[in-house]
């Protein structure tokens, strides 16, 4: 079952530094089995707030990716620049534009 991981970040440093650290982590994550799509968006009204939305083939694929030994160093770089709150959601309904 596909899952969606949503991670909200509040940056406590320069947004450019956070985006750079996120990009490095994204390069690692995008190579992990089971990742379908991975995005980062910044709040239009507050440049210190971001949201990452990742679609995974399964919850196990996400667990395996974050359990990878190399993930810790990537996560540490982002944690030094921002606090985060992540939640995993199960897809219930899907809609597309016309």
Residue 94 reports pLDDT greater than 90: no
* pLDDT given for residue 93 in this prediction: 85
Say what the pTM is.
0.90
Give the separation between CA 89 and CA 95, rounded to whole angstroms: 16
- What pLDDT is recorded for position 54? 97
Give the separation between CA 79 and CA 60, rounded to whole angstroms: 23
pLDDT at 74 over 90: no
User: What local confidence, expressed as pLDDT, does residue 92 receive?
Assistant: 87
Question: Tens digit of pLDDT for each residue in 14-71?
Answer: 999 999 999 999 999 999 999 999 999 999 999 999 999 999 999 999 999 999 999 9
Residue 83 pLDDT: 96
Both tokens of residue 50?
């971001």
**Paired tokens of 48:** 């210190």
The encoded tokens of residue 56 equal 């995974």
Which residues make beta-bridge pairs with 85?
A: 8
Q: What's the CA dihedral at 45, 13, 32, 2 to 10 degrees?
A: -30
Label residue 7 by pLDDT band (50, 70, 90): very high
């Amino acid at each position: 079952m596909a899952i969606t991981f949503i991670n909200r970040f509040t940056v406590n440093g320069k947004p450019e530094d956070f985006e750079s650290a996120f990009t490095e982590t994204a390069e690692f994550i995008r190579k992990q089995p089971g990742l379908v799509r991975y995005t980062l968006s910044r709040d239009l009204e507050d440049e210190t707030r971001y949201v990452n939305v990742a679609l995974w083939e399964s919850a196990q694929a996400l667990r395996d990716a974050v359990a990878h030994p190399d993930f810790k160093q990537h996560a540490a770089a982002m944690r030094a620049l921002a606090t985060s709150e992540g939640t995993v959601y199960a897809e219930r309904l899907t809609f597309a534009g016309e």
